[in-house]
Amino acid sequence: MLQDTVREVDDRWSTLYVLAVTTGLRQGGLLGLKWEDVDLEGATLRVRHTLQPPGFPKGAPARLTRPKTNRA
């Protein structure tokens, strides 16, 4: 299973891979996460930012933006 393989990989990105596979978050949502978005005790994760890639809009640097969908 993909999740088991990812957990076995000794890679600095392995936690991100597990999150991607288990939550279905897109790249921008994953890369926009901050520690304040994670509640380990409550086992919850809130996507409050997405990472907008550089060059979008044209010539802009990478930046954090609000997600397109606003769900509580």
Q: What is the pLDDT of residue 14?
A: 80
Return the closest-CA partner of residue 31 out of 7, 54, 1: 54
Per DSSP bridges, beta strands 38-39 and 44-45 are antiparallel
Structural domain that includes position 55: 2-65
Is residue 32 one of the residues assigned to a domain? Answer: yes
Q: Does 36 reside within a domain?
A: yes
In a domain? residue 61: yes
**pLDDT score at 71:** 65
Residue 59 included in any domain: yes
Q: pTM for the whole thing?
A: 0.73
Q: Is 72 helix (H, G, I), strand (E, B) or coil?
A: coil
pLDDT for 46: 94
Q: How many domains does one find in the chain?
A: 1
72 inside domain = no
**pLDDT by 10s per residue, the chain, length 72:** 666 776 677 778 888 888 888 899 999 999 999 999 999 999 999 999 999 988 877 888 999 999 887 765
| Residue 34 included in any domain | yes
Q: Judge whether 70 lies within some domain.
A: no
35 belongs to a structural domain: yes
Rounded CA separation 18/47 (Å): 16
